[in-house]
Every structure is written in structure tokens, then in C-alpha cells.
Structure 1
Amino acid sequence: MILLLDHHNQSVAEEMLEVQLPAYRKEVEIIGFDGIPQLKETTEDIKASKEIYIGKYEKEQLLGFISYEINGDEMDICRLVVHPNHFRKGIASELLKYVLDLAPNSVSVIVSTGAKNKPALTLYERHNFSKIKDIEVEPNFFITQLKYNSQI
């Protein structure tokens, strides 16, 4: 079941952190960079976030979630995380498709991921995202920014 998460709720924020931290630790292994800001987040940070969170549950367990913000005519996908125990089950694709279906046609959808994160880049490309540019955010560490093409 996919539903809107009440991230202001303490127990929901705790559940989210239990998914987010292992997911980003796996990304660290893939990209070789441990400066991912979400690795330092606390439940208080999640509760204070202005992002909109959508989660995927199986029974009572949160398996993954996606978040986004809409600023004017742009939807920015801020994070897409799946607990490593549930990788390769189509959860990330399901969450991404859900949010893309929510996006009004009038907004452009963008996302950023580590330039070395091949699994994430493949996922986004499979869902009609195209690379816009690489951005150096730390010395010798790049993120790739992609934009969704709804016309494909």
C-alpha cells in the first residue's frame, strides 16, 4: 500500500529513519562518498522537513519512501529510499511512478543523485529522465541532475 506519510508524527519519523539510514549507507558504498546530508538527520530533522513524503508499506512495515517539494513550476524529488532488505523488488519504481502521476503537466520534475550511483541513474533513465548536468558539490564529488520527460 502506498500512502502519504505524516512525518510530523514521532513514530512515523522513527520508522522513516530506520529505512533512510541503511539505504544511504548502501549508497555510500556505491558512490564512495560519506557526506550525504541525510545520513546525519534525526527524527527531529524529518519532523521539521517541508518535504511531502509518500511511503510504501507491506502489512505494517515501511519498506521505502519518496519525498518531493514543489516550488513554482518545478517539482524536486528530494529523496527516494528503499530499505536494503527490499532492494530489487520494484519498490523504488512504484514510488517514483506514483509521484510522477501526481505531478501536474505544468511542472517540470527534477532529481539529483550521486554521479557514480549507477543503480539510481538506471532507474531514473528507465522512467524517462534525462541527464541535465553534473554538479561538483565537494572536491571530486559530483551529483547528476536529471529532468523528467513526460512526452516520451
Structure 2
Amino acid sequence: MRRLTAEEVGVHAPHLLDLQHKAYAVEAELIGDDRIPPLHETESDLLSAGLEWIASFDDDQQIAGAAGYAIEHDVVDLDRLMISPSHHRQGLGTALVTEVMELAPVTEVATGRDNAPARALYESLGFLHQSDFEPVPGLWVSRYRRA
């Protein structure tokens, strides 16, 4: 697992985007709604999001999982957690979230309200549910925070 430089993000952007689409397709199926913005992003969108990245690589040096985040005022916003479906249930999500949590005293994250696996992961790591909101009619998202 390693933090990617801006240059590495550019090199790996096609792979990150592919992983993002696969990961968010799983979430869309879980929550019954495919209007999740990262599911529809282009490579340009991904690169212009202004995120820093931590990635985990498999034995073939392919990205198995990644976390995109931003840090502001001692708060890290975990904007994206993406695990390849072939690497689900192997502890990779826990490892990536734990690594991101070490970057600042407070970590915030949001996930689909009906994404039970993601919610269970965050709650198991000590995140507390803050609120639910509806960014577009019928698409519910839950916010979590860990201090």
C-alpha cells in the first residue's frame, strides 16, 4: 500500500477509473440506484477532483483497492473507497481506511444509506453515524465521522 504522487495518479488514472466504475457499480446494485456520481465520471473528472490517493497493488501490480481523500483543517474527508470486486472481503477496505485515518485527527466519510457492507466497515472502525441526506430525490446517503 502506498500514497501515490500526482505523477503516479496520472499514470494510473485509467486503472483508477476502471476500478472506480466497478466498485461503484457494486454499490449501485446494493442500494438500488445508479445515480452515484463517481459511477459516471470520466478520467478527466477523476483527475480534476483534487484528491490525494492511497492504493494497494496485487501480486500482478494491478490496483486492487484505492482511497481518494482530501485534508483540510485537521479533517480528512475520505471521498472514495474503491475495492476491486475480486478483492472483496480480504481486509483491504479496512487497511485503506485505517491508513487514511492516520493522516489527520478527524476522518469523515459518506456512503449510500443502504450500503450495509460499507456502513458495517465504518462502524467497526469507530465511525459514528452523523446524519442522512438526500442529494437527489430518492438517493439517500449516510454521513459518518471518527475523531
Deviates more, 1:123-132 or 1:9-18: 9-18
- Residue by residue, what CA displacement relative to the aligned partner does 1:14-64 show, whole Å, maximum 9, x if unpaired? 111121111110111000111111111111222222111100112311101
Report the alpha carbon displacement of residue 7 of structure 1 after superposing the two structures with TM: 5.2
Give the aligned partner of residue 116 of structure 2.
118
Give the aligned partner of residue 68 of structure 1.
69
Distance in 1, matches of 2:6 and 2:38, equals: 15
Report the alpha carbon displacement of residue 11 of structure 1 after superposing the two structures with TM: 3.3
Contact 1:68–1:76 at 8 Å: present in 2 too?
yes
- Residue by residue, what CA displacement relative to the aligned partner does 1:71-90 show, whole Å, maximum 9, x if unpaired? 22422110101011110011
Residues matched between the structures, number: 145
Deviates more, 1:63-72 or 1:5-14: 5-14
Letter in 1 for 2:135: V
Taking the TM superposition and a 5 Å limit, the aligned residue runs for 1:47-62 are 47-59=47-59, 60-62=61-63
Choose from 134, 137, 148 the match for 2:135.
Answer: 137
- Residue by residue, what CA displacement relative to the aligned partner does 1:82-141 show, whole Å, maximum 9, x if unpaired? 0111100110000011111222x3xx2110001000000000000000100111112122
Distance in 2, matches of 1:25 and 1:135, equals: 21
Distance in 2, matches of 1:47 and 1:144, equals: 25
Distance in 2, matches of 1:7 and 1:44, equals: 14
Distance in 2, matches of 1:37 and 1:140, equals: 14
TM-score, L = length of structure 1:
0.89
Letter in 2 for 1:24: Y
Contact 1:6–1:12 at 8 Å: present in 2 too?
no
Contact 1:20–1:81 at 8 Å: present in 2 too?
yes
TM-score, L = length of structure 2:
0.92
Report the alpha carbon displacement of residue 10 of structure 1 after superposing the two structures with TM: 4.0
Distance in 2, matches of 1:41 and 1:141, equals: 17
Structure 1: gaps (5+ residues): none
Deviating above 6 A after TM superposition, structure 1's stretches of 4 or more consecutive aligned residues are none
Contact 2:71–2:77 at 8 Å: present in 1 too?
yes
Contact 1:7–1:47 at 8 Å: present in 2 too?
no
